[in-house]
Amino acid sequence: MNPDLRCADVLDRLPEYLADALEPPQSDEVAAHLETCPECAMALATERRLDKLVSHAVNEAAPSSAALQMRIAEHISGRVIPRYQWWRLATVAAAISSIALGLAIWHAVSGYQVHLLCADAADDHHTEITMREARRWRATPQEISELVHRELGSTEVPQNIEGQHLSLARARVCRLRGSRFMHLVYANGAREVSVFLALDKAGQPLKRDDMPGPIHEEQDLKVDISTFRIGNLVVVVASDLAAGLSTQVANELAHTF
């Protein structure tokens, strides 16, 4: 890791990093910095979401009133926007307007925060498991046990998902919706499933009820997500393998914790 690499340098390189346009050792230095800097890691997640938003908006339809949106963006920024940038900003403005309306509609609907949590989990699984972006994982039983104890106040997590012949392979801490989650990877050869665990309020002792809550299911980025609560433990399962696998894993975990 380059000790002289500052956050400002990393933020400048994020677009190139996302586009795989950085050559080693720069790409390795940025990856190492992202592993140890939560602020830059969050900026990377935001940039990735922005790119997806732009791609979706461009593919769906051209933004309306683009010239007006460009003038508004110029007024806000206090400068004239180069022609090669204004289309992207206009597209983002149109898409954000649509999202703002969607948020107003969904605001009172129970479960929308769960949807956002699932979207973040799908993005994390896609990035770290499917695309295999460089991360620092804990892989030995002792390292995983210490991490679990530190994050959950317990060393008791399932070592195996028997019904799917998956074993706990590695773990790390990540952030979903701005909260700390443990990302556990259960594997059997090339088959890998992500299980994210967190207490609904940090610092509380782990409490489990006899009956887990209902399992919520959805899909994002071709990743199947299943999530439920048991006591104050939030469990999110992510898989891009066989259809229904995340739900099967979630059902087994609901009766294991």
2 domain residue, yes or no: no
pLDDT higher than threshold 80 for residue 59: no
Same structural domain, 242 and 125: yes
State whether 29 and 117 are in the same domain. Answer: no
Is there a single domain that holds both residue 177 and residue 222? yes
- What was the pLDDT predicted at 110? 44
- Report d(CA 245, CA 164) in Å as an integer: 9
CA neighbor of 196 nearest in space, from 85, 122, 248: 122
Name the residue range of residue 248's domain.
Answer: 112-254
* Token pair recorded at residue 14: 């994020």
Q: Which CATH number covers residue 226? A: 3.40.1000
Nearest-angstrom CA–CA distance, 135 and 67: 42
Residue 10 has pLDDT above 80, yes or no: yes
- Amino acid letter, residue 36: T
The answer to whether 139 touches 172, Cβ cutoff 8 Å, is: no
Give yes or no: residues 75 and 157 share one domain: no
> Above 80 in pLDDT, residue 215?
yes
**Mean pLDDT within 151-162:** 86
What pTM did the predictor assign?
0.60
Counting the structural domains of the chain, the total is: 2
User: Do both 124 and 231 map to the same domain?
Assistant: yes
Rounded CA separation 213/219 (Å):
19
108 pLDDT more than 60: no
- Integer Cα distance of 23 and 149 in angstroms: 38
Query: Same structural domain for residues 151 and 242?
Result: yes
State the average pLDDT over residues 87-100.
48
Q: Which amino acid is at 119?
A: A
Reported confidence tier of residue 115, pLDDT bands at 50, 70, 90: confident
* Across 76-82, average pLDDT: 49
Residues 233 and 129 in one domain: yes
